[in-house]
Amino acid sequence: MIILGIETSCDETSASLVKQHPQGNLEIISQVVATSLSLHATTGGIIPENAAREQLKYMIPVVQEAIHTLAKPEESIDAIAVTVGPGLIGSLLIGVETAKTLSLLWKKPIIPVNHLFGHIYANWLTNTEIVFPALALVVSGNHTDLVLMKSHTSIRVLGSTRDDAAGEAFDKIGRLLGLSYPAGPTISHLALKGDSKLYQFPRPMMYSKDYDFSFSGLKTAVLRQVKEIKTLKSKTIADICASTQEAIVEVLVYKTIKSAKKYGVKSLLLGGGVAANETLRVKMQRALTDMHMDTTFFVPDRSLCTDNASMIAAAAFFKKETQPIEKITVDPELYY
């Protein structure tokens, strides 16, 4: 079975072909991602209308490139999976209307996919040994969620952010330091040359009894520090980056391990753009090992952590809930 995935919820315009083998394992046949990040960098963040206009330019060429190896796509493709939310309404509509058009043309069903599940199911693209119960930490630009999965259909959100998401904290703090959008990758790169112990930034809600997160206080603490320093030299920026990353990672690891222990999960999954962060990946694995937990750690390849259409196709294989075309609508606020 081959699914064409389409993802346009925010910064990227992506199309992928993903195949499921008879044994159940998934294989990415093609993945094309056109990013609008350089455009958003010029404005210091996303202006929704600009994002959609840019994606409109990319959408058709991206799909064409993803399916160009298929002589007769209408014969090889079994279904079309598309992100219906959460995301920017104009951006989502571009992907969904494209999926509907192809569905009518090729007479193929559409599987609407929640972007957040896409981030979780990115783990299934490269791993076949994931067992339930599983705990997923979804860390993206807008979400920081701990999701307990007892099966593919039994899902419970244990906690989420009360204000800024982890990715948002990276991006906003980066902006304070004069770094361009999105700042997460730059902060993690600059942090390599910085001292992570130099600034003791707060670890918000680390010891709260629930599984929620909060990162806006961290941003305020960094702002205060930056104002105190006045002129930022590159060594100071590196130290602030390292100390910021340390604070975010420490909270994410502490609360994730705490809930993994409490619910006795067999698998721990990371997903979302922030899951590409090397320090987070290393420290999460180390914490599991140090605690001697019987939990296997899974994290998608770096290229599959940030937005892509392969993860949308992957989620569709497990959800398989097709819907008639007239019922499919976008939902910018969609949750689990």
Q: Where on the chain is the footprint of ligand KG4 (CB under 6 A)?
A: 10, 140-142, 167, 170-171, 182-185, 188, 272-274, 276-277, 306-307
Least Cβ distance, residue 201 to Zn ion (angstroms):
25
* Euclidean distance between CA atoms 292 and 288, whole angstroms: 6
Q: Among residues 16, 259, 41, 34, which one has the least CA distance to residue 121?
A: 16
Of 136 and 276, CB closest to ligand KG4: 276
Of 20 and 277, CB closest to ligand KG4: 277
Residues 6+ apart with CB under 8 A from 231: none
Of 145 and 246, CB closest to Zn ion: 145
Tokens (6 digits) for 130 = 């994931």
For the stretch 254-267, what's the b/e string if a residue is b when 16 or more beta carbons lie within 10 angstroms of its beta carbon? Answer: ebbbebbeebebbb
Of 19 and 281, CB closest to ligand KG4: 281
Residue 118: which of ligand KG4, Zn ion, none does it interact with, CB under 5 to 8 A by kind?
none
Q: What residues between 129 and 158 interact with Zn ion by CB under 5 A? A: 140
Size of the site for Zn ion (CB under 5 A): 2
Least Cβ distance, residue 142 to ligand KG4 (angstroms):
5
Of 171 and 212, CB closest to ligand KG4: 171
* Euclidean distance between CA atoms 102 and 77, whole angstroms: 11
3-state secondary structure of 191: helix
Does residue 307 interact with Zn ion by CB under 5 A? yes
First to last CA, the chain: 26
Residue 188: which of Zn ion, ligand KG4, none does it interact with, CB under 5 to 8 A by kind?
ligand KG4
Q: Please spell the DSSP secondary structure of 19-64, one letter per residue.
A: EE-TTS-EEEEEEEEEE-HHHHHHHTS--HHHHHHHHHHHHHHHHH
Residue 184: which of Zn ion, ligand KG4, none does it interact with, CB under 5 to 8 A by kind?
ligand KG4
Does residue 14 interact with Zn ion by CB under 5 A? no
Which residues of the chain form contacts with Zn ion (CB under 5 A)? 140, 307
